[in-house]
């Protein structure tokens, strides 16, 4: 299968693309810079230059492909406080790619966020059956699933806020690590018992391949290996790894201390992946988050010189 992948130079794509290539798929990766193009090429993919705002280019790339995996999101805008703008750009890109796939029965695997539903008001353990009418990132998820009614084999993989592997971490954990380095303290809020789910990118990569190859139209999948790790346990692991003290941050100091993470660090997000495992035979096998943080490697080296990039 010829697969078009957006966000092809990112943390998750670093496992998704090799997984696809090893399974015999040809991958075309979207890259917006020379640096990104070099990363995409090193992973074994053909480079397609462009970004989420070049809608005509996205449409052409999709029409020339047998399937799509959409990983891209404007994380820089989210980190600068422009989540709504980033979510709007994501929705426009999905609508454009969806229109190019209309009636094709080709697979489109979108990406959601388990924390998105918590931010919108969902409470309790999140399962694949749970949806929400709307909100940042949720609108995009719902749009992808609606493509099933337009002759597209669409599915959404919800990622946990904690996606990690071999010292590289998604923006949430990388942000906590960078903040700890910048402030000299590994931190959490309140008593730190709120939970974030987690998964290793290598396990996540396998799930994207399975969804591309076999997910029924309109499916939700959860790329969750660990249902919920407390923020205090995470902070303590970061503190051990960086030889820093660990402390709770007072409510009045959360915004100043955590920056772009201030709206997320207090959220409780226990998440099940039981349906995903039973339906697709997906069994995570890679180390958990705490074991990853405890390993001897340079954690989040890409953020070592900045606080909340």
CATH level 3 topology of 2-161+199-226 = Rossmann fold (3.40.50)
**151 DSSP 8-state letter:** T
**In the prediction, which pLDDT does 298 show?**
67
Say if CB 45 and CB 27 are below 8 A apart: yes
pLDDT mean for each 10 residues of the chain (309 residues): 97 96 98 96 97 96 98 84 88 97 98 95 97 94 98 98 80 91 97 97 98 98 98 97 97 95 96 98 96 78 36
**In the prediction, which pLDDT does 26 show?**
98
Enumerate the β-bridge partners of residue 188: 248
- Pick among 3.90.25, 1.10.10, 3.10.350, 1.10.357: CATH of 166-198+228-268+286-303: 3.90.25
**60 DSSP 8-state letter:** H
Domains 2-161+199-226 and 166-198+228-268+286-303 equal at CATH topology level = no
**In the prediction, which pLDDT does 84 show?**
86
Give how far Cα 138 sits from Cα of 42, 48, 172, Å: 32, 27, 18
This model's pTM is above 0.85: yes
Degrees to nearest 5, angle at CA 194 with 188 and 199:
95
Domain parsing of the chain, residue ranges: 2-161+199-226, 166-198+228-268+286-303
Contacts of 51-59 with CB under 8 Å at 24 or more apart are 52/6, 52/89, 52/90, 52/92, 52/93, 53/89, 55/92, 55/93, 55/96, 58/6, 58/30, 58/93, 58/96, 58/97, 58/100, 59/96, 59/97, 59/99, 59/100
């Amino acid at each position: 299968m010829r697969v078009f992948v957006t966000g092809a130079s990112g943390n998750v794509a670093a496992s998704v693309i090799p997984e696809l290539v090893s399974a015999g798929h040809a991958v075309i990766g979207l890259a917006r810079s020379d640096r990104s193009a070099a990363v995409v090429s090193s992973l074994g993919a053909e480079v397609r230059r462009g970004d989420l705002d070049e809608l005509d280019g996205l449409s052409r790339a999709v029409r020339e492909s047998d399937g799509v995996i959409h990983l891209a999101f404007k994380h820089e805008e989210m980190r600068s406080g422009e989540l709504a703008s980033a979510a709007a750009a994501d929705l426009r890109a999905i609508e454009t790619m969806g229109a190019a796939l209309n009636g094709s029965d080709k697979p489109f695997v979108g990406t959601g966020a388990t924390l998105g539903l918590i931010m919108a008001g969902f409470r309790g353990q999140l399962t694949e059956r749970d949806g929400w009418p709307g909100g940042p990132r949720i609108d995009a998820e719902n749009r992808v699933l609606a493509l099933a009614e337009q002759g597209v084999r669409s599915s959404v993989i919800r990622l946990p806020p904690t996606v990690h592997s071999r010292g590289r971490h998604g923006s949430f954990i990388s942000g906590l690590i960078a903040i700890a380095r910048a402030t000299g303290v590994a931190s959490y809020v309140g008593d730190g018992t709120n939970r974030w789910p987690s998964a290793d990118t290598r396990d996540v990569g396998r799930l994207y391949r399975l969804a591309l190859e076999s997910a029924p139209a309109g499916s939700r999948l959860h790329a969750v290996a660990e249902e919920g790790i407390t923020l205090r346990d995470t902070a303590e692991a970061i503190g051990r790894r960086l030889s820093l003290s660990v402390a709770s941050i007072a409510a009045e100091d959360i915004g100043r201390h955590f920056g772009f993470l201030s709206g997320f660090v207090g959220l409780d997000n226990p998440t099940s992946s039981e349906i995903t495992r039973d339906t697709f035979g997906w069994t995570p096998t890679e180390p958990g988050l705490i074991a990853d943080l405890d390993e001897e490697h340079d954690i989040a080296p890409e953020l070592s010189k900045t606080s909340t990039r």
